């Protein structure tokens, strides 16, 4: 699938896990993320991921939600985002839409859910358009009209076209076979589930940093949050080092450098995680000397 970059996207690494329960939980978590409405193209990724699990109705809902919200974003943020959205639609639609085109009842449920969700979920681009120029307001009004008519007619169009239903069913079966082969290659028995294990490692490293006495001493007023800023990995391996952003209750954020050691079982599953704080620094990633350990190169780094 086309990649999502910069302002367009947010990272959800657990979506690449080979464990279906982990992936479904990651999709649900992404949909609850308060920042999600500002990144509608992520919905394309969620749709593709849901389809890879065989969750066809969920995938259809997420794909139509992505199209709807992205159309509004394009009104207030024209430019490169349009090309990205076009590429995502071309790559995801063939995976998702055949299932919808083969099942009129599913289409009706998905459309009803979509319209209810859109009404209940904030859309920052719709709100920005309401305070925009007359031209922006006119463009948004056209988008809203297209949503009301086009989306509303979708289920009726599918129900009225028996030939389309048959063609869509055949295409959907082909997608099933394609995705099954891809999943088998990626998640073969004995392979380490890198994405799933990353979720565990990230959580453990954040916990260690938040609880570390040196971090708590340096964080004025206590630790508000800890987030992963950068990760070092060996090719095809689990993380070996992380840079984490520590945001205190008061004052400016600082950074914690952590060494990570892991062991895996014979079945290639993550066994133990050891996280060691190397230093604290006020240098953010862009300020650091390339190729040098910031714990050594920063004379003001605080060592444990």
pLDDT single digits (tens) 55-104: 999 999 999 999 999 989 988 888 767 777 788 888 899 999 999 999 99
Beta-bridge mates of residue 246: 226, 254
Least confident of 112-126, 127-141, 283-297: 283-297
Confidence of residue 238 (pLDDT cuts 50, 70, 90): confident
Per the prediction, the chain carries an average pLDDT of 85
Residue 237 has a pLDDT of: 66
Confidence of residue 35 (pLDDT cuts 50, 70, 90): confident
Confidence of residue 28 (pLDDT cuts 50, 70, 90): very high
Residue 48 has a pLDDT of: 93
Kindly give, in sequence order, each residue whose CB lies less than 8 Å from that of residue 146, ignoring residues fewer than 6 positions away.
71
Kindly give, in sequence order, each residue whose CB lies less than 8 Å from that of residue 161, ignoring residues fewer than 6 positions away.
none
Taking the alpha carbons of 19, 21, 24, 30 in that order, is the dihedral positive or negative? negative
User: Does position 4 have pLDDT exceeding 60, yes or no?
Assistant: no
Q: Is 143 exposed, middle or buried (0-12, 13-18, 19+ CB in 10 A)?
A: middle
User: Does position 210 have pLDDT exceeding 50, yes or no?
Assistant: yes
| % of the chain with per-residue pLDDT over 90 | 47
More confident position, 89 or 250: 250
Kindly give, in sequence order, each residue whose CB lies less than 8 Å from that of residue 62, ignoring residues fewer than 6 positions away.
27, 43, 44, 46, 47, 50
Confidence of residue 276 (pLDDT cuts 50, 70, 90): very high
Distance of CA 37 to the CA centre of its chain: 12
Backbone angles phi, psi at 246, to 5 degrees: -105, 120
Residue 297 has a pLDDT of: 93
Backbone angles phi, psi at 180, to 5 degrees: -65, -40
Q: Give the mean model confidence (pLDDT) for residues 282-286.
A: 86
Residue 193 has a pLDDT of: 64
Residue 234 has a pLDDT of: 61
């Amino acid at each position: 699938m086309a990649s999502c970059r910069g302002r367009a996207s947010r990272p959800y690494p657990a979506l690449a896990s080979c464990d279906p329960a982990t992936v479904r939980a990651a999709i649900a978590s992404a949909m609850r993320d308060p920042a999600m409405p500002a990144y509608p193209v992520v919905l394309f990724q969620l749709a593709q991921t849901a389809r890879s699990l065989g969750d066809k109705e969920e995938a259809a809902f997420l794909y139509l939600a992505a199209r709807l919200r992205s159309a509004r974003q394009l009104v207030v943020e024209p430019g490169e985002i349009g090309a990205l959205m076009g590429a995502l639609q071309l790559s995801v639609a063939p995976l998702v839409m055949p299932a919808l085109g083969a099942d009129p009842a599913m289409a009706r449920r998905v459309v009803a859910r979509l319209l209810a969700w859109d009404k209940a979920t904030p859309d920052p681009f719709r709100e920005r358009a309401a305070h925009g120029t007359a031209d922006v307001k006119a463009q948004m009004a056209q988008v809203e009209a297209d949503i009301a008519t086009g989306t509303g007619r979708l289920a009726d169009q599918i129900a009225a076209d028996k030939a389309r239903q048959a063609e869509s069913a055949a295409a959907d079966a082909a997608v099933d076979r394609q995705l099954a082969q891809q999943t088998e290659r990626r998640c073969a028995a004995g392979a380490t589930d890198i994405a799933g294990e990353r979720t565990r490692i990230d959580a453990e490293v954040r916990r260690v940093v938040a609880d570390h006495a040196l971090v708590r001493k340096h964080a004025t007023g206590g630790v508000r949050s800890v987030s992963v800023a950068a990760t070092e990995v060996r090719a095809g391996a689990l993380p070996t080092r992380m840079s984490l952003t520590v945001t205190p209750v008061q004052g400016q954020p600082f950074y914690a450098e952590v060494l990570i050691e892991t062991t895996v079982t014979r079945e290639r599953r993550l066994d133990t995680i050891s996280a060691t704080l190397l230093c604290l620094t006020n240098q953010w990633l862009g300020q650091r000397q390339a190729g040098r350990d910031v714990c050594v190169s920063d004379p003001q780094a605080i060592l444990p």
